[in-house]
Structure 1
Amino acid sequence: MNERDVKIHGIYHHFKEKYYIVEDVAYHSETKEEYVVYRRLYDDNSLWIREKKCSLVK
């Protein structure tokens, strides 16, 4: 994902050939920086966060 709009519940394809679903957008409590909350659609389906400015490919 990058600075463009992030679609909640959108499925994104990472360059490492894995798929993720965006669960929500969250904000750092002190810096107000935006983070994307996403779930891996493989292995343990764990929940992760990533800075919104970092990229995944849709």
Structure 2
Amino acid sequence: MKETLKPGRYRHFKGNEYELLCVARHSETLEEMAVYRALYGDGGVWVRPADMWSEIVERDGVSVPRFSYVGE
């Protein structure tokens, strides 16, 4: 991951919002992981590789960030 992820609210490219709580490291691989919770439904807490959090995805032929920072 090239840049440090900033905690706060993010909008997923499909429209739902999430709160990035922190960036943690995988205990075996030391891979950076984004720890986040859904700001809808049951508010579940999830983790995914930080590189995946930051990647650009294609939707309807347009390249967009998977998660876009909304604010604190």
TM-score in terms of structure 1 length? 0.85
Cα shift at 1:54: 1.1
Which runs of no fewer than 5 residues in structure 1 stay unpaired? none
2: distance between equivalents of 1:6 and 1:31? 19
| Rg larger in structure | 2
Superposed CA deviations along residues 35-57 of structure 1, whole A, max 9, x for unmatched, are 01000000000000010001312
Q: Partners in 2 of 1:23 and 1:14 — Cα distance?
A: 15
Deviation, structure 1 residue 4:
2.7
Deviation above 3 Å: which 4+ runs of structure 1?
none
Q: Percent identity?
A: 41
Cα RMSD between the aligned structures? 1.3
Please list every run of 5 or more consecutive structure 2 residues that lacks an aligned counterpart in the other structure: 54-66
